[in-house]
């Protein structure tokens, strides 16, 4: 019985770690998207006003 409990705890821990990793990746992707968007806007303005 305690073994089963331990396995469940391990599963939960892994799930939490995975969730954290996904959140971190999501943040990174969002940051990248923002940077790309800023670059596009900058380029557009540069060509538009030149």
Per-residue pLDDT of the chain (50 residues; tens, 9 = 90+): 689 999 999 999 999 999 999 999 999 999 999 999 999 999 999 999 98
Cα–Cα distance for residue pair 3/9, rounded to 1 Å: 10
Say what the pLDDT of residue 8 is: 93
- What pLDDT score does 9 carry? 94
Can you count the helices (H) and strands (E) in the chain?
A: 1, 0
CA–CA separation, 23 and 17 (whole Å): 10
The pTM for the full model equals 0.62
Residue 46 structure tokens: 């540069």
Distance, in Å, from the CA atom of 4 to the CA atom of 37, rounded to the nearest integer, reads 49
């Amino acid at each position: 019985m305690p073994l089963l409990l331990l396995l469940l705890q391990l599963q939960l821990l892994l799930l939490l770690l995975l969730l954290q990793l996904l959140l971190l990746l999501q943040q990174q992707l969002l940051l990248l998207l923002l940077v790309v968007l800023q670059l596009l806007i900058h380029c557009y303005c540069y060509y538009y006003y030149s």
